[in-house]
Amino acid sequence: MLKDMTMKLKSAGYVPNTVQVVFDVDEEEKETVVSYHSEKLALAFGLINSRSKETIRITKNLRICGDCHLAFKLLSEIYRREIMVRDAIRFHLFRKGNCSCMDFW
């Protein structure tokens, strides 16, 4: 499912934001690191184990990164699902390619 999500994101024009990756590795490896963030893994699990049209709820004890925020906006539109993420600061409700925080996070 994670590979499927990545393929659909890239076909929608998504480019991974690797600015926040602090490892000293090449750009391709940074993209791999970003693709395995816990919230993306949780979303893949939610897509596999929930019914279509059901809201997927994810809780994090850290802030959501900019790359995951952008990816979730696109994935909510691609999969036509509502995705609710509770991070350390606020709730984010991703619906139809938008976030309830209006990109202020």
| Low-confidence winner among 3-17, 22-36, 74-88, 90-104 (lowest mean pLDDT) | 22-36
pLDDT for residue 99 = 97
The pLDDT tens digits for 28-61 are 788 888 889 999 999 999 999 999 999 999 999 9
pLDDT for residue 19 = 77
Residue 22 has pLDDT above 80, yes or no: no
36 closest CA partner among 5, 70, 81, 78 = 5
pLDDT for residue 69 = 96
